[in-house]
A and B are shown apart, each in its own frame.
Chain A
Amino acid sequence: MIKNLIRRTWRELTSASPLYLMSTLTITLSLTIFSFFVLLYVNLEDFTNHLARELVLNVYLRPGTDLKECQNLVKELEKLPEVAKVSYINSQKVLKDLQKLFEDQDLLAGVSPDFLPPLLEVSFKRPFSVLYALPRMAEEIKRDPHVFKVQYAKSWLERLAGLKRFLEILSLTGLGLLGGATLFIAAATVRLVLLQRQEELEILSLVGATAGFIQGPVLLLAFIQALLATGGSLLILWVIHLYLTQALEGIFPGITVQISFFGPKEILILAGGVVLLCLNGSYWASRRFLRY
């Protein structure tokens, strides 16, 4: 029975191969555009989160605070659920960072490391979600007797949060439109292919073929088309991903741009969605032509 199904599917494919090739390419192309924008959205999210993590809370310690007191404070801060990491920067490192910052070395001539306070850099797991809690947190940290000052780039973080929201709205609206268009194109392509085969499907049903006999090859071809389209689309996206990874390297000094790609779970969801769409479209379109 399976052998028979494969033989009839092959005959179906070879009798209208240009039609199936064109429809598979159309689905591949629309899927590639949709998936590209999904990746764009995911990467923009990652990028803004990455930028936000760079904007840390700086806790300046009073000069003369000993290492043990520092370690206690680090432990206290690390207990906070929002905190991802706390790094201790000693006075010497602070001076070195300042020397890097100012090109004119004379400005820092005679400045002793002891003059500069050591500091703790606090980064957060989800910086945007703690944005509105930062003033309260800063106040609480400031109450510690060893803390001299607490600073964070509030305005930058707010601007970044605004940018993130803007990109989210823009990308999600675009994705909604593209998703709708992809669904429509894939469904219409499948229907158009079957419309070409309408007469044949009708004849088969009139001479006594069962729905299973007629729809078997149609559905198997839809399944193969869906897998080919997903595979082709992922291949194109992978090539684009490789190109962009190289092209964007070093474009933002000091920031490592990592372009993420779909993981196995996302690939399975994508393939499953396309298979379901093609099978569903083929089933209902071919059912319309069966004259029972």
Chain B
Amino acid sequence: MDYILRVERVTKIYEPNIKALDEVSFAVEKGELLFITGPSGAGKSTLLKLLFRAEKPTTGEIYFQDKALSQLSRREVPFLRRRMGVVFQDFKLLESRTVFENVALALEILGLSTGEIKKRVLDILEAVGLSGRERQLAKELSGGEKQRVALARAVVNKPKLLLADEPTGNLDAKRTEEVMNLFEDLVAQGTTVILATHDQALFVDRHQRVLVLDQGRLLNP
């Protein structure tokens, strides 16, 4: 098996003694679309935070492309994150910047030329249905629009792994379907996608692997 990600007996305890994740282990193949589900507070967001090294596990180890994340130095972390795209539950957009600037951010940090950045940003905005909105400030957007900008930013640099935390939480049924199609296109192009969601409608009938978390424990490892 060609795994892009391996999570081995990961436990995360927050002070004073809140166990957010308890001995979680699983592996993800390259090009897989994986759903992580569970009720609120099950540990889905915590798990995603550990996967892109926003936090470190209390015990256990996570390997991304066979590299142990705990071994990464402070300098190496940004380069790990450039190989991942993350759609945050709270979007994490720069509110006073335009849609274009928010998406371009992920390419600017790579040092791409202005022309290349413009082309790729406009292409991805079209793909998420935000064509013509590039000059609008992020703070002027609706929840659903913000979610699509966050998604565009996460995928614009063609990451190896895409992590999305409730990526359709603010979208109507039509937009949800469009976004899910976008994820499937990415998977078809070889990107590995991990979606954390409590919305069962997203994975029912999709015939993809679903991991269920409850109170920090994986129920179907």
Contact = CB atoms under 8 A, between A and B. Distances in A.
B92 interface: yes
Interface string A254-292: 000000000000000000000000000000000000011
Interface stretch (A62-70, A117-125, A162-170, A202-210): A202-210
Contact of B94 (A203, A211, A213): A203
B94 A205 contact: no
B207 interface: no
Given A15-B96, A200-B94, A292-B78, A207 B86 contact: yes
B54 A291 contact: yes
Contact of A208 (B82, B92, B96): B82
B54 A206 contact: yes
B33 to A, nearest CB: 22
A207 B75 CA distance: 14
B105 A206 contact: no
Q: Which of B80, B81, B106: most chain A CB closer than 10 A? A: B81
Interface in A192-208: 200, 202-208
Contacts of B174: none
A205 B81 CA distance: 9
A207 B54 CA distance: 10
Nearest to A213: B109
A210 B75 contact: yes
B86 A206 contact: yes
A292 B92 contact: no
A208 B109 contact: yes
Interface in B72-117: 74-75, 77-82, 84, 86, 88, 92-94, 96-97, 105-106, 108-109, 111
A194 to B, nearest CB: 15
B198 interface: no
A207 B74 contact: no
B6 interface: no
A206 B109 contact: no
A246 to B, nearest CB: 49
B160 interface: no
B78 A205 contact: yes
A208 B97 CA distance: 18
Nearest to A1: B111
Contacts of B82: 208
Q: Is the interface of A mostly helix, strand, loop or mixed?
A: helix
A4 B113 CA distance: 10
B65 to A, nearest CB: 15
Interface in B34-87: 52-54, 74-75, 77-82, 84, 86
Contacts of B81: 206-208
A4 B79 CA distance: 20
A202 to B, nearest CB: 8
B109 A207 contact: yes
B12 interface: no
Contacts of B78: 205, 208-211, 213, 292
Contacts of A8: 108
Contacts of A210: 75, 78-79, 109
Contacts of B92: 202-203, 206
A207 B96 contact: no
A291 B49 CA distance: 11
Contact of B105 (A15, A207, A291): A207
19 contacts: A1-B111, A202-B92, A203-B93, A204-B105, A205-B78, A206-B54, A206-B86, A206-B88, A207-B86, A207-B153, A208-B80, A208-B84, A208-B106, A213-B78, A291-B54, A292-B53, A292-B74, A292-B77, A292-B78
Interface of B: 52-54, 74-75, 77-82, 84, 86, 88, 92-94, 96-97, 105-106, 108-109, 111, 153
CB-CB nearest 3 A-B residue pairs: A208-B81, A208-B82, A292-B77
Given A205-B78, A206-B86, A207-B86, 7 more contacts: A15-B96, A204-B105, A208-B106, A208-B109, A210-B79, A213-B78, A213-B109
